[in-house]
Amino acid sequence: MIQKLRVLIPAILITTSLFTVFSCKSNRNNVSDKTGVKYNDPENGGLQINRKVKESLGPGLIAIEGGTFVMGGSLNEDVAYAHDNLKRRVTVASFYIDETEVSNADWLEYLHWISQNFPQDQKMYYDALPDSLVWRNPLSYNEPYVNFYLRHPSFQDYPVVGVTWEQANAYCQWRTDRVNEHILRQRGILVDYKTASQQQNGQPFNSEIYLNGQLQGPGYDGKNMPKDNRPGAQQNGRRTVRMEDGILKQAYRLPTEAEWEYAALGLIGNTYEGNIESNKTYPWNGLGVRDHKRRTQGRMMANFKITSGNNMGVAGDLNDGGDITVPVKSYQPNDFGLYNMAGNVNEWVSDVYRQLSFEDFDDFNPYRGHVFMDNQYEDAENRKLAKDQFGRPIKVAAKSPRKQTWEELQAANTEQAATYDNDVRGFKDEEQKELYGKTTLVNDKSRVFKGGSWNDRAYWLNPGTRRHMQQDESNAMTGFRCAMTMVGNVFGPRK
């Protein structure tokens, strides 16, 4: 009997301890650590905290674990003597970036949506069209590309070109709304596509307008909307999704120059126990442009112009196989799993170009190009956002560099609004408007592009190289890919 008790008592203690641990863990999910008040309880105020949400990437994206690296560190020569890529160690936060460049099929989806939702707005559709005339050349027979490159199904997986920086940004905004709309319709939070097309409510989905509670009611509300736990809410009442629910994705955008260069190098493949064992000149290892692996030895690693008059090699044993661009999933991906971070097409990044940017900007998430904006309210008292003709929030210049006091906000402090400059594209390096076009081609609309293209020499395949073009210009050698901010950090700290 005594022996049985000796065995039974420890077992009871272990069971009790496990129950206590799991109870505490369970309570932690539903109770405030600081006040002890229960979350998600309509009887005590209804504060909803979602502990089960895990950050996930959006369609087409690859998660990039951030870290420190030397911007410009992969470039050992400056053939243009521009001195615009001085080496500087920086840290890039973890983020997401597209696996591939945006393709013609992706752009045709964008154009199709515009034609379906705004059939009478010819200007909107025309402004979204890429400039197919970028292929035209007085001394080259490129007319077939003018007519076929964008729309012919043989080119559907090729990167879209002829798009300006401004068009690329517009695509990112459109993509954000389509992804979030699709998530809500799939979950039944918004009505399904069939019902929406039948009702024709005439108001396209916009993420910011929806999060502000301005897209709800008949024609919008699905059967699976979240419960409304607010005091005084109707029994079994429903509400729209909020940012705190963790359902909607953050905005797609162009990557910063630092993010793009970090992702292109893919140094994670050369890292061992916190040290980078060898650097890279290109997104792959080695100093050459051919593959060194036995199975694929000698094959070109990217699509670029080999020498003058040699775009792809000799027939029968082509070098890179690309006379112009090639499909966006050609060649081997880098160590992050990204395709064509060198060659095929140059890619727009978000930054404004300055020759001395590497000396000026911050060492954490470096970026030049901010124009700080606020939302305009149609009804400030009820927090109703003003919308443009396409259902998008109207933006106005930010009035203050910090959170205003309540009194300042109510008084609409005009003096502060007049002195605050929300445009910091030229911070510490102002544009010289009177010299533009005379002694300089750089201003606040000069945007960086990187990566090299099918018509560039191997030098430009180095991720440290940088060039610029006006944000309203385009050519047949430049496309883009999208990025997305990672909220939280899915990579760490390590446990």
Which tokens hold the place of 282? 């290109």
The pLDDT value recorded for residue 42 is 77
Query: Residue 127: how many CB atoms within 10 A of its CB?
Result: 13
The pLDDT value recorded for residue 4 is 45
pTM: 0.91
Determine the Cα–Cα distance for residues 346 and 441; give it in Å rounded to an integer. Answer: 19
Determine the Cα–Cα distance for residues 433 and 438; give it in Å rounded to an integer. Answer: 10
Burial 300-312 (b: 16+ CB within 10 A, else e): bbbbbbeeeeebb
What is the sign of the dihedral through the CA atoms of 164, 169, 175 and 181? Answer: negative
Average pLDDT over residues 130-146: 96
3-state secondary structure of 2: helix
The residues, any chain, with a CB within 8 Å of residue 103's CB and separated by 6 or more, are 156, 157, 158, 159, 160, 327, 328
Residue 202 pLDDT level (bands cut at 50, 70, 90): low
Quick one: residue 372, left, alpha or beta (phi over 0 = left, psi -120 to 50 = alpha)?
A: beta
Each residue of 371-423: pLDDT tens digit?
A: 999 999 998 888 899 999 999 999 999 988 888 888 877 776 445 455 789 99
What is the sign of the dihedral through the CA atoms of 206, 208, 214 and 216? Answer: positive
Which tokens hold the place of 35? 């006040």
Amino acid at 259: E
Percent of the chain with pLDDT over 90: 58
Each residue of 23-55: pLDDT tens digit?
A: 444 445 688 888 888 888 877 777 888 877 777
Average pLDDT over residues 331-356: 95
